[in-house]
Amino acid sequence: MRKAIRSVMTAAIGALVAATSTRVALAQSYPIKPIRLIVPSAPGGGTDIAARLIAQGLTESLGQAVVVDNRGGAGGIAGVTVAAKLSAADGYTLVLGSNGHLSFASAVNPKLPYDPQKDLAPISLVANQPFVLAVSAAVPANSIREFVALAKSKPGAITYGSGGTGSASHLGVELFQFKAGITLLHVPYKGTGPAMSALMSGELQMLMAGLATVLPQAKSGKIRVLAVSGAQRSRMAPEVPTVAEAGVPGYDFNVWYGMMAPGGTPRPIINKLAGEIGRLLKAPAVLERFATAGLEPLSDTPDEFAALLQREIPEWHKIAKAANIRIEQ
């Protein structure tokens, strides 16, 4: 009996060693053909800019072409679905998603065709896009504290715009209302561009959007930047306070971009890609190009990325439920 048990154990250990050796060999030889990097948006946006910079760097470091495949539609859900549900888990299809596709989506869309935590494998965060809270020059508020006081004196009367229901510019303000204890009136637009135009014309009173988009417009004097939305001040505008330090403790919101692979992609390949991305994001030339695009490099490990999703997704479910945000695709 003991001999039989030892025999079974020996066989099991042998199989484990063989499987481990195979995975290590797989990672060492990877990649042996071009890699497709899905970008779930049209060319030109923040996600696309970050993806193309990363693709260029990975092409050079891995020795195989990393080809960007723009798949817009359904707010980016269509492109992420291709990676999550329709691609082999072999390391040759990647997707650069944002918290809009990975944290917000499951909270606001009950029919989301993929589970961000089960159908996708985190590789690494790539970049952070600071947002800012700006108001029309006609709004009598020069700080976050003054704006919150104004909003509390007129519940539901102050308008804010967004790039659409469920977008980052929408949910960032919903979180702001939740943390500040105020009620504003949401006016969704078909994109951040039209919302920005409405803010500059005075049609809207407040908007939260990317710092690189808002700051140039603030020079016109038609809008006023009150704060950046993240936990720390932005390197691109160090003089602008955060929402948290300006009067709403605990507020922290940015749009981040992260590299994912189909769920089940071998961990050695995941680790290899994470290492390459981490090294790439330290290169001076990449840092300079990110800054020009209004992006801040942001890398981590696969486990840290997974932990971020585990924290954020329940929090956004709470916010979406409190604000009654629901999108039917």
Look at residue 25 in the predicted model and tell me its pLDDT.
59
Arch. (CATH architecture) of 131-228: 3-Layer(aba) Sandwich (3.40)
Q: Give the HSE-up count for residue 76: Cα atoms under 13 Å, Cβ half-sphere.
A: 26
Q: Quote the pTM value.
A: 0.84
| High-pLDDT (> 90) share of the chain, % | 68
**Is the separation of the CB atoms in 118 and 89 below 8 Å?**
no
The tokens describing 192, both together, are 């951040």
Distance CA 313, CA 177 (A): 18
Look at residue 18 in the predicted model and tell me its pLDDT.
47
Distances (CA, A) of 324 to 27, 74, 157, 192: 45, 20, 18, 22
Distance CA 137, CA 128 (A): 28
Provide the 3-class DSSP secondary structure of residue 262.
strand
* 31-128+256-323 and 131-228: identical CATH topology: yes
Q: What is the mean pLDDT of residues 67-92?
A: 93
Q: How confident is the model at residue 132 (pLDDT cuts 50, 70, 90)?
A: very high
Q: How confident is the model at residue 323 (pLDDT cuts 50, 70, 90)?
A: confident
Q: In this predicted model, what pLDDT tens digit does every residue of 187-208 receive, in sequence order?
A: 998 888 899 999 999 999 999 9
Look at residue 130 in the predicted model and tell me its pLDDT.
86
Other CB atoms within a 10 A radius of the CB of residue 60 amount to 12
Q: How confident is the model at residue 79 (pLDDT cuts 50, 70, 90)?
A: very high
Q: In this predicted model, what pLDDT tens digit does every residue of 171-186 receive, in sequence order?
A: 999 999 999 999 999 9
The tokens describing 84, both together, are 């999550």
The tokens describing 12, both together, are 């099991």
8-state DSSP, 103: I
Look at residue 163 in the predicted model and tell me its pLDDT.
86
In the chain, where the domains are located: 31-128+256-323, 131-228
Task: Please state which CATH class domain 31-128+256-323 belongs to.
Answer: alpha beta
Q: In this predicted model, what pLDDT tens digit does every residue of 3-17 receive, in sequence order?
A: 655 665 555 555 455
Q: Which one is predicted more confidently, 215 or 20?
A: 215
Q: What is the mean pLDDT of residues 108-123?
A: 95
Q: Which residue has the tokens 């809270």?
A: 133
Q: What is the mean pLDDT of residues 292-304?
A: 90
Mean pLDDT of the chain: 90
Distance of CA 2 to the CA centre of its chain: 55
DSSP-derived pairing of the beta strands 206-210 and 159-162: parallel
Provide the 3-class DSSP secondary structure of residue 91.
coil
Q: How confident is the model at residue 21 (pLDDT cuts 50, 70, 90)?
A: very low
pLDDT at 146 over 50: yes
